[in-house]
């Protein structure tokens, strides 16, 4: 017993103070929020567009844009770009409330997720129970969701828990491109959650189908099947990206917290 207590004392506190405290220190190799600088692009250059495996990069009347709902964060675009017009920062904050907010453009501020409002915030702001649905995923997003339950992140301290039954849940967390074999299971699970309910899409596959988009075996994610309340992009998203999105949805991170975590 004394050896156990001594070792526990030696290890100290393992839970990160997020979102309070100093900004999280993340490795330089992390591919977080992309930064586009269209002023550096060469006229007529299409190298980055050609390199993107999911057509996440595109050009329209407003110029060069990157759809994080399709982006795999593979880095092929940065490797192909001869002028460095596309770079990935280490900013882990990626979650948004609306599908169109996932589009990143040069010189435009990224619209991070805003909190629930009114009765929804009153109901779920202090306690949120979620049922996870793996709709044909590759287990990457599922693994990072599981990590949130470890001592490092301790999701339960925020009143957020994953439950076994949708009848005990306030919403569902969807991962995977929603294969045809899982489509009915997704609908059944969603229907079993008492109203009002939330839908959270985690990862590029759940948002747009990811690498499998356009295949007949999948439904290109949950976006066109159910009303989504929170989009968390990535392939897979970092655990802090997921945690940040959930806390923003519940109003646990305000503008002052954001400024402290990422001072400009």
Longest Cα pair distance anywhere in the chain, in angstroms?
70
Cα–Cα nearest to 168, from 141, 198, 131, 135:
131
Note the CATH architecture for domain 118-261: 3-Layer(aba) Sandwich (3.40)
| H or E segment to which residue 256 belongs | helix 255-261
What tokens were used for 193?
């959650």
Task: Give SS3 for 68.
Answer: coil
The stretches in the chain having pLDDT less than 50 are: 256, 258-264
Beta carbons within 8 Å of 87's beta carbon, 6+ residues apart: 34, 35, 37, 78
Q: Taking a C-beta distance cutoff of 8 angstroms, is the pair 239, 92 a contact?
A: no
pLDDT at residue number 69: 97
User: How far out from the chain centre does Cα 121 lie?
Assistant: 20
User: Which tens digit of pLDDT belongs to each residue from 103-151?
Assistant: 999 989 999 999 999 999 999 999 999 999 999 988 999 999 999 999 9
Listed by start position, the domains of the chain span 118-261
Q: Is the pTM of this model over 0.85?
A: yes
């Amino acid at each position: 017993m004394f050896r156990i207590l001594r070792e526990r004392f030696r290890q100290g506190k393992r839970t990160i103070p997020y979102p309070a405290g100093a900004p999280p220190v993340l490795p330089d190799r992390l591919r977080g929020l992309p930064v586009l600088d269209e002023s550096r692009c060469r006229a007529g250059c299409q190298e980055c567009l050609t390199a993107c495996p999911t057509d996440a990069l595109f050009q329209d009347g407003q110029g060069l844009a990157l759809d994080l709902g399709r982006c795999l964060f593979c880095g092929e675009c940065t490797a192909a770009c001869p002028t460095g017009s596309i770079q990935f920062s280490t900013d882990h904050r990626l979650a948004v409330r609306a599908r169109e907010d996932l589009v990143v453009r040069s010189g435009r501020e990224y619209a991070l997720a805003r909190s629930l409002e009114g009765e929804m915030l009153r109901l779920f702001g202090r306690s949120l129970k979620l049922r996870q649905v793996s709709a044909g995923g590759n287990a990457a997003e599922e693994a990072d969701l599981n990590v949130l339950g470890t001592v490092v992140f301790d999701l339960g301290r925020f009143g957020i828990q994953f439950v076994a039954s949708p009848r005990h849940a306030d919403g569902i967390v969807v991962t995977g491109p929603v294969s045809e074999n899982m489509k009915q299971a997704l609908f059944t699970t969603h229907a079993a959650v008492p109203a009002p309910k939330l839908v959270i899409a985690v990862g590029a596959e759940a948002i747009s189908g990811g690498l499998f988009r356009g295949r007949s075996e999948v439904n290109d994610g949950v976006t066109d099947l159910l009303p989504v309340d929170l989009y968390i992009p990535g392939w897979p998203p970092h655990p802090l990206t997921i945690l940040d999105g959930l806390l923003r949805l519940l109003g646990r991170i305000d503008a002052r917290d954001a400024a402290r975590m990422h001072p400009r």
